Structure 1
Amino acid sequence: MNGSNANFKGKNILIIGASSGIGHALAKQLENQGATLFTASRTKPEGINSTHTELDITGEIDNLQIPDELHGLVYCAGSINLKPFARLKMKDFENDLQVNVLGAVKVIQHSLKALKKADTSSIVLFSTVASKVGMNFHASIATAKSAVEGLAQSLAAELASQKTRVNVLAPSLTDTPLAKSLLSTDDKREASDKRHPLGRVGTAEDLASAAAFLLSDESTWITGQILGVDGGMGKVKLV
């Protein structure tokens, strides 16, 4: 999704978690397409021109800067906490829920009035292929991301009357700093590539392009959807 610079000209887009990974790749794409960016994360994204708020999503967000009119909101903050179920503590579940679900809830509530002021607006959240495909060691993150999907579909219904669309991207393993330890050696990367029907793990740009599409005017009849951007992992089995 790399359209002309006019594609997002005049559009205000808020990205939570734009300092690295998918959020940073998306910010670069949207800036190149003319968007006015508002970003929030612990550190300011490098090489991005945005109105930035230094923010810890597990705390208060009253200082989050947004414009009066907001055309798009992307919540990229997330976690990867893979452990055998017997080793997971309640704190692990609580932290995954705080970062992935409750953080999104806080940001969306903070932004509702601004989203409503736009003629049409779009919210993009992130889940995981593990919410639909059982994967060992994913109990905590799959629980949290399944809640994200439920939240999105409920909000899609509730916000349809104000022309705010809500959709979710559900990736498989993606080459970002968050997944660094899972791709830290050539052997790990090769094994991860082979698990995907399309023969490779995802890139930040793969997910950023999908998110840009869901933010754009090209997707104004799409809401309440969980879109698997996962190299075929969620639906395809090679025999």
Structure 2
Amino acid sequence: MAGSLQNKIAFITGGGSGIGAATAERFAREGATVIICGRRLDPLLAVEKRIKQQGGSVNSVVADVSNETQFIQALEKVSNDYGRLDILVNNAMAFTWGGIEDMTTEQWHENFTTSVDGTFWGTRTAMKLMRQSGGGAIINLSSICGALGTAYMAGYSASKAAVVNFSRAAAAEGARDGIRVNVITPAIVETPATAGMLSDDNSRQNTEKLIPMGRVGQPEELASAITFLASDDASYITGTELPVDGGRSAVLITALD
């Protein structure tokens, strides 16, 4: 049986670990040819090896999405090599910790270069390429931090809020050309980026108490939602924000034991 992404050409940023890697593996199982992008080759090759062992089609490209030229060239090369681009997942992220009073302007901007500038560059390029081939799907990754204030993560929170409203505008512009743009909003997911927040039993338990489902998310669970939005099953969905957060954004406060 053909998968939900059969014969699609998909580009995933931050594809060497976490949500990006899980999404790449899921896309490949669904029949897509997957191009995974990241700044370091070794993690990409590890994901590539797993996908190929499962019979999937995948290639790696080293590019920094916070570098406009590198990112655009990587996307354009995929379109030239394969004749089109059907799916873009803007998953790469970067953030800095720190209180507002102590945050430098440089640290503030570090939160935006990958999450906002990179998402803009990727979406702009993908929309041009997808318009030429009759449409496509763009899925941008935000965060619950973009919806709720998070102390000591003001820059990251602001950047992820920007991703949501940018995506709505892009959806409005792309709709008539068959280009769908949607946002996934996770809470905490068990990835290398969150390892420090879950480094001991006490930290994990305190985090899990805040989540109605009582556990942190897994990358594969985010990959399932991303796959749905990338597929034709979501053909009439654009401009939406889909929380995948165990119910965290649905509650003001929890008193679960």
TM-score (norm 1): 0.93
In structure 2, the partner of 1:50 is 58
Q: Secondary structure at the match of 1:174?
A: coil
Shift of 1:229: 0.9
- Contact 1:96–1:140 (CA under 8 A) maintained in structure 2: yes
- Contact 1:66–1:111 (CA under 8 A) maintained in structure 2: no
What are the equivalent positions in structure 2 for 1:64-213 lying under 5 Å apart?
Answer: 64=74, 65-67=77-79, 68-213=83-228
Corresponding residue to 1:28 among 25, 28, 34: 25
Shift of 1:111: 2.3
- Contact 2:96–2:110 (CA under 8 A) maintained in structure 1: no
- Contact 2:138–2:182 (CA under 8 A) maintained in structure 1: yes
- Contact 2:86–2:136 (CA under 8 A) maintained in structure 1: yes
User: For residues 54 and 30 of structure 1, what CA distance do their matches in structure 2 show?
Assistant: 19
Shift of 1:120: 3.6
1:63 lines up with 2:73 in the alignment: yes
In structure 2, the partner of 1:230 is 245
User: For residues 132 and 110 of structure 1, what CA distance do their matches in structure 2 show?
Assistant: 27
Q: Structure 2: any 5+ residue segments left out of the alignment? A: 52-56
TM-score (norm 2): 0.87
User: For residues 194 and 113 of structure 2, what CA distance do their matches in structure 1 show?
Assistant: 19
User: For residues 131 and 101 of structure 1, what CA distance do their matches in structure 2 show?
Assistant: 12
User: For residues 56 and 132 of structure 1, what CA distance do their matches in structure 2 show?
Assistant: 27
Shift of 1:88: 1.6
More helix by share: 2
Cα offsets for 1:126-160 (capped at 9, x unmatched): 11112222222221101111111111010000011
User: For residues 231 and 99 of structure 2, what CA distance do their matches in structure 1 show?
Assistant: 40
User: For residues 54 and 29 of structure 1, what CA distance do their matches in structure 2 show?
Assistant: 21
- Contact 1:127–1:145 (CA under 8 A) maintained in structure 2: yes
Shift of 1:5: 4.1
Cα offsets for 1:61-118 (capped at 9, x unmatched): 2430322311110011012433222222111211110010101111222222321234
Question: Which segments of structure 1 move beyond 3 Å, counting only runs of 4 or more?
Answer: 117-120
User: For residues 133 and 31 of structure 2, what CA distance do their matches in structure 1 show?
Assistant: 17
- Contact 2:144–2:249 (CA under 8 A) maintained in structure 1: yes
Give aligned-pair identity as a percent.
Answer: 29
Bigger mean CA offset, 147-156 vs 59-68: 59-68
Letter in 2 for 1:77: A
CA RMSD of aligned residues (A): 1.6
Bigger mean CA offset, 135-144 vs 24-33: 135-144
Letter in 2 for 1:173: I
- Contact 2:139–2:182 (CA under 8 A) maintained in structure 1: yes
Q: Structure 1: any 5+ residue segments left out of the alignment? A: none
Aligned positions, number: 236
Letter in 2 for 1:50: V
- Contact 1:70–1:117 (CA under 8 A) maintained in structure 2: no
